[in-house]
Amino acid sequence: MKSTGRFNLFFKKFKRFLPLLQNLTERDIKLKYRRSILGIAWSVLNPLLMMLVITQVFGLLLKIKVENFPVYYIVGVAMWNFFSDATFMSLNSVIDSAPLIKKVYIPKYIFPLEKCMFALINFLFSLIAVVIVMLFQSVVPSWTIILFWVPILYCFVFAIGVSLILSALSVYFRDLLHLYSVVLTIWMYATPIIYPVSLVKGSTLVYNIIRCNPMYYYVEYFRSVVMYGIVPDLTWNLICVTFSVGFFILGVFVFNRAQRNFILYI
Amino acid sequence: MALSVEVKSLEMHFNMSKERLTTLKEYFLKMVRKELRFEDFVVLHDISFKIEQGDVFGIVGLNGSGKSTLLKLISGIMRPTKGNVKTHGTIAPLIELGAGFDMELTARENIYLNGSVLGFSKKFMDERFDEIVEFSEMRDFLDTPMKNYSSGMVARIGFAIATMTTPDILIVDEILSVGDFKFQEKCERRINDIMNSNTTVIIVSHSIDQIERLCQHCLWLEHGGIRMIGDSQAVCDAYKNT
């Protein structure tokens, strides 16, 4: 009885502050591209240019053998960038909103949530780049491409969970700002983005590390439905859901515990 | 008379660590050595009072006596260490005008942003937009980024947004001194209108004249405790004589 009351209160507040979430996201998008001539087109151009550089370096110099490497890379890196942008921006989100938090009552989870929304919108724009590369490489997708939103949803929920944890802890320990960029670099190399998983299957240790990495499952899921026309099996889906929901619940728990004293530390 | 604000045996402590530990290494080192010392700093203690609906309530006290902390507790920004604060109805905090502005955005964009910070819907803001612009007299500069505004101009917009509705409880923290004298008059008129409409108003000010003129009841804070509470005239007289 008591918990349903708290739930209702939560949703009432959430509804009331939904316009704020929307306005903050709009602000971020406007400010990111204001006064740049190409504007939002950069969301498409940037991954394309990066793809050109990386495929040249890794494809030609290191001779990585993957079929349709440009597509393989851009599909993977688009999703990875979404996750890393969302969490990296969230990390600072509560600290940066200190002037607001000190003056007005606002549910504080709005701030990391808004950064995740912002990253999601950028990601959706960068999917145009994915489509362009696929057309260029004449990769014909099968019907499974309509499932592209499933791994995005999994990854989005996971990113919110991680963002909640990071944004809450960074208020108390500013070290996280520096530490996390290193973690992100390691994490990126532990995710098969510029190399195929088959490359590391020889070493059980590396392979096992990669199998503990949630991002591995989301990226591979995304690739299978977009590129290979395969729908991942039930086990794969269960692993994804477990990571997403698990981290989401952990994030809510940590954030909820930590937010009581935010005001004394920001 | 219905109660508007109810404060019961409120206590607020700040953990002032001897040195501020904000890095993990330091924190763990100190924790292992059991050197984590906190100085408990009592900001407010034994605060109990009630404000009735429609009352105009002043809070006076020297710097550091806990006035702002008390306002933050009433408006729900901070949670008390002990005791509780009960409020009935909507609260519009005027604590520092324009707190939610992003200086990179234009005034038009900021009006909508700030409205949503206060929890208003877009539709509601559309209806009130012209009224806000009219009151602030800033129509010519609506599409200028606010970083190019003077502080008086920013305050005008902030005041117009914060007072566009008639909330049940209005919290005013030293803000009746914004803008030029003409705008100040306009602000006081607006505040007076709000006061006459059964809204509870809580005012913090260092201007004793203002408190005497506007308030019915008054609270005098000293070192985080209540020194005196009651009729505004009596409290202000006593405060002036110290």
Inform me whether the pLDDT recorded for A1 exceeds 50: no
Residue A264 C-alpha, separation from nearest chain B C-alpha, in angstroms: 8
- Identify which of A52-61, A163-172, B228-237 has the greatest average pLDDT: A163-172
pLDDT band at B21 (very low <50, low <70, confident <90, very high): low
Residue B123 C-alpha, separation from nearest chain A C-alpha, in angstroms: 10
Please name which of A176, A210, A205, A209 lies closest in space to residue A193, comparing C-alpha atoms: A210
Inform me whether the pLDDT recorded for A249 exceeds 50: yes
Taking the Cβ of residue A174 and every Cβ of chain B, the question of whether any pair is shorter than 8 Å is answered with yes
Percent of residues, chain A, with pLDDT higher than 70: 98
Q: Which residue in A has a C-alpha nearest to residue B16's C-alpha?
A: A264
| A22–B105 C-beta distance less than 8 A | no
What would the CATH number be for the domain defined by B3-94+168-240?
3.40.50.300
- Give backbone dihedrals phi and psi of B220, rounded to 5 degrees, phi first: -110, 115
Torsion of the alpha carbons at A189, A195, A201 and A204, rounded to the nearest 10: -10
User: Residue B194: helix, strand or coil by DSSP?
Assistant: helix
Is the dihedral angle over the CA atoms A113, B117, B92, B97 positive or is it negative? positive
pLDDT band at B176 (very low <50, low <70, confident <90, very high): low
Spatial CB neighbours of A197, under 8 Å, sequence gap ≥ 6:
A207, A210, A216, A220
What is the predicted ipTM?
0.76
Inform me whether the pLDDT recorded for B92 exceeds 60: yes
What would the CATH number be for the domain defined by B95-162?
1.10.8
Residues of chain A with Cβ-Cβ distance to B24 below 8 Å are: 173, 175
Please name which of A85, A112, A86 lies closest in space to residue A262, comparing C-alpha atoms: A112
Can you tell me the distance from the alpha carbon of A124 to that of A198, in angstroms, rounded to the nearest whole number?
29
Range in A66-70, A105-109, B91-95 the model is least confident about:
B91-95
| A19–B116 C-beta distance less than 8 A | yes
| A23–B77 C-beta distance less than 8 A | no
Residue A230 C-alpha, separation from nearest chain B C-alpha, in angstroms: 43
Taking the Cβ of residue A99 and every Cβ of chain B, the question of whether any pair is shorter than 8 Å is answered with yes
pLDDT band at B22 (very low <50, low <70, confident <90, very high): low
| B104–A172 C-beta distance less than 8 A | no
Domain ranges for chain B: 3-94+168-240, 95-162
Reported as a single tens digit per residue, the pLDDT across A179-225 is 999 999 999 999 999 888 888 888 888 899 999 999 999 999 999 99
∠B20-B25-B30 over CA atoms, to 5°?
65
